[in-house]
A and B are shown apart, each in its own frame.
Chain A
């Protein structure tokens, strides 16, 4: 740990050890839970501990359901089976939210997540079929992903 580092630096204040966030992982998690996507990604490059925590799916679960009332517990098992919350967020929820942001209506928050889930499921299904379809592509490269339309820049 880095703690002993501080002991060698001459502190005039006294011998009381400084607070170091990495010692208090539970507080760290609470803080990281409240970050937005970009900050979370930045946080993941701070140090190995933060990287491990940021990869934890439950943080991304929070991001997905941030503005929505907590979903039933069955959702978690489904999402985990389909690839996890981070993938759901990065692949579906984030682009859906940013696209719909222009015409966002308050009542749509829950439906956004549901739509994202459906699209996520179709994407999972297509990824399942990657192996068997690879010899069938007329073009030869990557199989079409139904989420690609979410990646394209918007025409304003």
Chain B
């Protein structure tokens, strides 16, 4: 007897036309026919393909039961009434029910699908109503399954795997342009979602991806544009994301440490923040500058952010708050806000950099937005990097998501995003603070929607991994600065404070990455502009003076 491994079954059989458990390419015959599995039919057994997995699992249970209580085997041989063994499903069930009457079978801890609590399933030791009722008319539809059989957890895990495979297949259809088939997959997946737990785990992530795929299919690319959310909403979601998990805190603290070290000995410093939001990064820097040996410098902060509607000047409000904090700790402080809806609209003269001051440029997850190129323009990343360089910053801190979501092929991008965001959602599970967690999930969901359902200029979440940024920044005339052991120590300490044990900080050739269970999710690095070699005297070797 061949026991089907559930994962190989899900990845299913494209060869045999009658025995695949995924819907055949022609949109007929799924619900009407009872598709008997061809392989087993050849051996004399009649099993429906849709039930293969269930039967396989029950066979495994039967095997476990038989192995555990060999004394009862003889009883099986003599006392039981077996149904037609060619109807494999009911035959196995009848055997299982024989074992159910024995009190020697172990208890089962299962998750009750209705109430979602973990209960002890003692159907093996009692003749309670939730025992497999094989002597009655058995129906193996999906819904009855949840009431009757105690293998729900395994079934859920299994549905999760099936869901993932269906997601990939659907994405492949979308890439090929076969939207009809993709739509039918969407329906299947939504049906499958109702059977698994969507509060946590794979169900939740899958739900978001299914939504994003439907947006792409039904609204077309660009229909899921994220600019639909107001800047105000974005700030709130960002704030809750900051509270719920350590990624942004890690980014802020690491960047601050690098900036602090770069500003040692300088008395006039100017920080340019590419995305001010609520300015949560800067209190810690102001406090650290206030306490640095030798006293605080004159600090200027230029915050770039989207223009706020209806007359509110949110940038100025944040500036006022920061100024008040700076005043409390006796740091001379000046703030300037630059309102721009896109980073490429900012011109260096708007920042009013004084040539005598030391400049730090801080970009937390902003540079990737510049990577999109339209039909009539090059990607603005080059322009922006060159004007950053023209400011001659003492340090540029760059924090980016460690993922490859900017590949041209949709399926590759989709796969990568599925893995990345599953890991991120996993890490979010550890957060128990509501409502931070729910709103943080919405924040992440917006990213997912943008990566999956948008194209062209609407797709702004074009994450690239650290290696690619290294090449790009080195090519634009920057050289890396090592982040140092203080930053590493601080990051490790910060992580230890978070209650979940899965976070890990790693050092990657002078850059720090924060990940969940060794999968890096966010990478922080620091850069300095390479000064140009003097043009009048072309050096015989191309080695640039440092």
Fill in one digit per residue for A41-61: 1 if any B CB lies within 8 Å of its CB, else 0: 000000000000000000000
Q: Which of B469-520 contact A (CB under 8 A)?
A: 489-490, 493-494, 496-501
Give the one of A74, A111, A150, A153 with max B CB within 10 A. Answer: A74
Given contacts A117-B287, A129-B321, A144-B239, contact A149 B497 (CB under 8 A): yes
Q: Please give, as numbers and ranges, the residues of chain A lying within 8 Å of B328 by CB-CB distance.
A: 81-82, 124
Q: How far is the CB of B239 from chain A (nearest CB, A)?
A: 6
| Contact, CB under 8 Å: A122 / B240 | no
| Contact, CB under 8 Å: B493 / A108 | yes
**Bound Cα distance from A39 to B306, whole angstroms:** 51
Q: Please give, as numbers and ranges, the residues of chain B lying within 8 Å of A77 by CB-CB distance.
A: 329-330
| Contact, CB under 8 Å: B321 / A108 | no
Q: Please give, as numbers and ranges, the residues of chain B lying within 8 Å of A128 by CB-CB distance.
A: 321, 324-325
Give the one of B232, B317, B433 with max A CB within 10 A. Answer: B433
Tell me if B's interface is mostly helix, strand, loop or mixed.
helix
| Contact, CB under 8 Å: A152 / B432 | yes
| Contact, CB under 8 Å: B499 / A122 | no
Q: Please give, as numbers and ranges, the residues of chain B lying within 8 Å of A124 by CB-CB distance.
A: 283, 325, 328
**A137 close to chain B: CB less than 8 A:** yes
**B288 close to chain A: CB less than 8 A:** yes
26 contacts between A and B (CB under 8 A): A72-B291, A74-B290, A74-B295, A75-B291, A77-B329, A78-B330, A81-B330, A95-B497, A100-B497, A102-B496, A112-B493, A115-B490, A115-B494, A118-B253, A119-B284, A121-B286, A122-B280, A122-B283, A124-B328, A125-B280, A129-B321, A132-B321, A136-B232, A138-B435, A149-B497, A152-B432
| Contact, CB under 8 Å: B243 / A125 | no
**Bound Cα distance from A138 to B249, whole angstroms:** 22
**B236 close to chain A: CB less than 8 A:** yes
**Bound Cα distance from A149 to B490, whole angstroms:** 17
**A146 close to chain B: CB less than 8 A:** yes
**Bound Cα distance from A149 to B290, whole angstroms:** 26
**A96 close to chain B: CB less than 8 A:** yes
**B298 close to chain A: CB less than 8 A:** no
Q: How far is the CB of B255 from chain A (nearest CB, A)?
A: 13
**B430 close to chain A: CB less than 8 A:** yes
Q: Please give, as numbers and ranges, the residues of chain B lying within 8 Å of A112 by CB-CB distance.
A: 493
Q: Please give, as numbers and ranges, the residues of chain A lying within 8 Å of B58 by CB-CB distance.
A: none
Give the interface size class of chain A: 35 or more
Apart from the given pairs A124-B325, A136-B236, 11 other A-B contacts in the complex at a CB distance below 8 Å:
A78-B287, A82-B287, A99-B496, A100-B496, A115-B494, A124-B328, A132-B317, A136-B232, A138-B236, A139-B439, A144-B239
**B293 close to chain A: CB less than 8 A:** yes
Q: How far is the CB of B398 from chain A (nearest CB, A)?
A: 21
**B4 close to chain A: CB less than 8 A:** no
**A154 close to chain B: CB less than 8 A:** yes
Q: How far is the CB of A102 from chain B (nearest CB, A)?
A: 8
Fill in one digit per residue for B230-266: 1 if any A CB lies within 8 Å of its CB, else 0: 0011001001101100000100010010000000000
Task: Write the chain B residue with the least CB distance to A126.
Answer: B280
**Bound Cα distance from A128 to B323, whole angstroms:** 11
**A155 close to chain B: CB less than 8 A:** yes
Name the contact of A82 in the complex, choosing from B278, B329, B433 (C-beta under 8 A). Answer: B329
Q: Which of B124-166 contact A (CB under 8 A)?
A: none
**B402 close to chain A: CB less than 8 A:** no
Q: How far is the CB of A69 from chain B (nearest CB, A)?
A: 14
Q: How far is the CB of B317 from chain A (nearest CB, A)?
A: 6
Q: Please give, as numbers and ranges, the residues of chain B lying within 8 Å of A106 by CB-CB distance.
A: none
**B436 close to chain A: CB less than 8 A:** yes
Given contacts A121-B325, A138-B236, contact A152 B499 (CB under 8 A): yes
Name the contact of A144 in the complex, choosing from B240, B291, B494 (C-beta under 8 A). Answer: B240
| Contact, CB under 8 Å: A99 / B325 | no
Q: Please give, as numbers and ranges, the residues of chain B lying within 8 Å of A138 by CB-CB distance.
A: 233, 236, 435, 439
**A103 close to chain B: CB less than 8 A:** yes
List 5 A-B pairs, minimum CB-CB distance, nearest first: A81-B328, A125-B283, A121-B287, A118-B284, A144-B243
Q: Please give, as numbers and ranges, the residues of chain A lying within 8 Å of B489 by CB-CB distance.
A: 108, 111
Fill in one digit per residue for B442-482: 1 if any A CB lies within 8 Å of its CB, else 0: 00000000000000000000000000000000000000000
**A31 close to chain B: CB less than 8 A:** no
Q: Please give, as numbers and ranges, the residues of chain A lying within 8 Å of B287 by CB-CB distance.
A: 78, 82, 117-118, 121
| Contact, CB under 8 Å: A148 / B433 | yes
Q: Please give, as numbers and ranges, the residues of chain B lying within 8 Å of A121 by CB-CB distance.
A: 283-284, 286-287, 325
Q: Please give, as numbers and ranges, the residues of chain B lying within 8 Å of A108 by CB-CB distance.
A: 489, 493
Given contacts A72-B291, A139-B435, A152-B432, contact A103 B243 (CB under 8 A): no
Task: Write the chain A residue with the least CB distance to B502.
Answer: A155
Task: Write the chain A residue with the least CB distance to B501.
Answer: A155
Give the one of A72, A126, A137, A138 with max B CB within 10 A. Answer: A138
Q: Please give, as numbers and ranges, the residues of chain B lying within 8 Å of A154 by CB-CB distance.
A: 499
Q: Please give, as numbers and ranges, the residues of chain A lying within 8 Å of B293 by CB-CB distance.
A: 72
| Contact, CB under 8 Å: B288 / A118 | yes
Name the contact of B493 in the complex, choosing from A95, A102, A111, A144 (C-beta under 8 A). Answer: A111
Name the contact of A155 in the complex, choosing from B239, B286, B324, B500 (C-beta under 8 A). Answer: B500
**Bound Cα distance from A100 to B496, whole angstroms:** 6
**Bound Cα distance from A99 to B501, whole angstroms:** 12
Task: Write the chain B residue with the least CB distance to A148.
Answer: B433
**Bound Cα distance from A122 to B287, whole angstroms:** 9
Q: How far is the CB of B445 from chain A (nearest CB, A)?
A: 14
**Bound Cα distance from A126 to B232, whole angstroms:** 17
Q: Please give, as numbers and ranges, the residues of chain B lying within 8 Å of A117 by CB-CB distance.
A: 287, 291
| Contact, CB under 8 Å: A74 / B253 | no
| Contact, CB under 8 Å: B499 / A149 | yes
Q: Please give, as numbers and ranges, the residues of chain A lying within 8 Å of B499 by CB-CB distance.
A: 149, 152-155
Fill in one digit per residue for B304-322: 1 if any A CB lies within 8 Å of its CB, else 0: 0000000000000100011
Q: How far is the CB of B227 from chain A (nearest CB, A)?
A: 19
Q: Please give, as numbers and ranges, the residues of chain A lying within 8 Å of B283 by CB-CB distance.
A: 121-122, 124-125
